[in-house]
Amino acid sequence: MIRLKSKKTLPLLFVLPTMGILSFVTIFPFIYAFVLSFFQWDYQIMGRPFIGIQNYLNVFQDGRYFSALGTTVIILSAALGLEFMLGLALALIFVEEFKGRNAALVMVVLPVMMLPIVVGYTWKLLWNDQYGPINHILTGLLGKEINILWLAKTPTAFISIIVTDLWEWTPFIFLILLAGLTSLSPEIYEAAAIDGASPWARFRSITLPLMRPVIGVALLFRGLESFKIFDIIVALTQGAPGTSTETISLYLYRIGFQYFRMGYASAANIVLLVAVGCFLVVAVRLLRIERGG
């Protein structure tokens, strides 16, 4: 009797806590925010008048919103591109056996373990124009006095953020690519070597095509994470100079928690969530096609 009953209820019983918690902390608040996005709820203004879709119209006319999106995309693509190239180069080196390989691997991967906010402050000290070591190292390397105010000017602030990001996340892409390379069968390479294919030809016509799905996963995962970039920006520049390095997460944080424009923040958040959702659907489709074909 009990067994028969459990055949149907047990599976549901097992997923219930997960579903309960996740809907409690995502779906309900989302509905709440959706409702709120049709009201004007500002810190300075009394009452919460219903204003229809005005908040959404405002979002689409908000230059700072789109420039923050642009900043995010610039940082994301530059960092992702560099991380991919460095990660791939390292993976191609580490895929072969050499003395001290395991020890080197552990050390190279350490940055991924750090708290992103700690990474940000660590590099804030490194970039410091007076007592940070980066200007000092550059002075030594180039043989002339280098005194760059890294975080105070727009182009160098971007460079600083991108280098900091790539320091933390290159190991991540490196590890995924390394795992992909390790799983390729060595026989294909042996055959190609016998046929007299040069290393570059082997890389281009064997490694790259076979690695495409893995590369896709690595770039998608890292790209989606990168889009959320917040911790490093808070630590390094806080969007300065001006709002030139302000990313979308930082701007959303400011609308909601510094300017206390609750209704507007709700609308801005929902627009972003919908955009990310659409992007995700497209990206996953592309990955599936890649895998299927």
Tell me the C-alpha distance between 258 and 76, whole Å: 25
Q: Which of residues 179-208 bind another protein (CB under 8 A)?
A: 179-180, 183, 190, 194
3-state secondary structure at position 60: helix
Dihedral-angle region of residue 52 (phi above 0 means left; psi in -120 to 50 means alpha; beta otherwise): left
Choose between 51 and 108: whose C-beta lies nearer to another protein.
Answer: 108
Q: Decide if residue 11 touches another protein (CB under 8 A).
A: yes
Choose between 7 and 155: whose C-beta lies nearer to another protein.
Answer: 7
- Which residues is 261 bridged to in the sheet? 42
- Least Å distance, CB 52 to another protein, is 19
Tell me the C-alpha distance between 255 and 230, whole Å: 14
Q: Decide if residue 273 touches another protein (CB under 8 A).
A: yes
Enter the DSSP assignment of 272: H
Query: What are the phi and psi torsion angles at 50 (to 5°)?
Result: -75, 125
Give me the DSSP letters along 211-239.
Answer: HHHHHHHHHHHHHHHHHT--HHHHHHTTT
- Least Å distance, CB 131 to another protein, is 5
Residues 85, 89, 188, 282: which binds another protein (CB under 8 A)?
89
Q: Which of residues 224-243 bind another protein (CB under 8 A)?
A: 224, 227-228, 230-231, 234-235
Question: Which segment (3-11, 51-59, 73-81, 154-162) binds another protein by CB under 8 A?
Answer: 3-11
Distances (CA, A) of 2 to 10, 64, 193, 269: 11, 61, 64, 47
Reported as type and span, the H/E element at residue 9 is: helix 2-22
What is the residue type of 172? F
Query: What are the phi and psi torsion angles at 236 (to 5°)?
Result: -80, -55
Tell me the C-alpha distance between 286 and 208, whole Å: 17
Size of the site for another protein (CB under 8 A): 93
- Least Å distance, CB 90 to another protein, is 6
Tell me the C-alpha distance between 82 and 178, whole Å: 16
- Least Å distance, CB 246 to another protein, is 12
Question: Which segment (55-63, 74-82, 103-111, 152-160) binds another protein by CB under 8 A?
Answer: 103-111
Q: Which of residues 59-88 bind another protein (CB under 8 A)?
A: none
Tokens 């160098």 belong to which residue? 156
- Least Å distance, CB 111 to another protein, is 6
Choose between 57 and 275: whose C-beta lies nearer to another protein.
Answer: 275
Q: Which of residues 13-42 bind another protein (CB under 8 A)?
A: 14-15, 17-19, 21-22, 24-26, 28-30, 32-33, 36
Residues 59, 79, 90, 91: which binds another protein (CB under 8 A)?
90
Question: Which segment (59-67, 151-159, 200-208, 222-230) binds another protein by CB under 8 A?
Answer: 222-230
Q: Which of residues 120-179 bind another protein (CB under 8 A)?
A: 121-123, 125-126, 130-133, 136, 139, 167, 171-172, 175-176, 178-179
Choose between 57 and 117: whose C-beta lies nearer to another protein.
Answer: 117
Tokens of 54: 């005005």
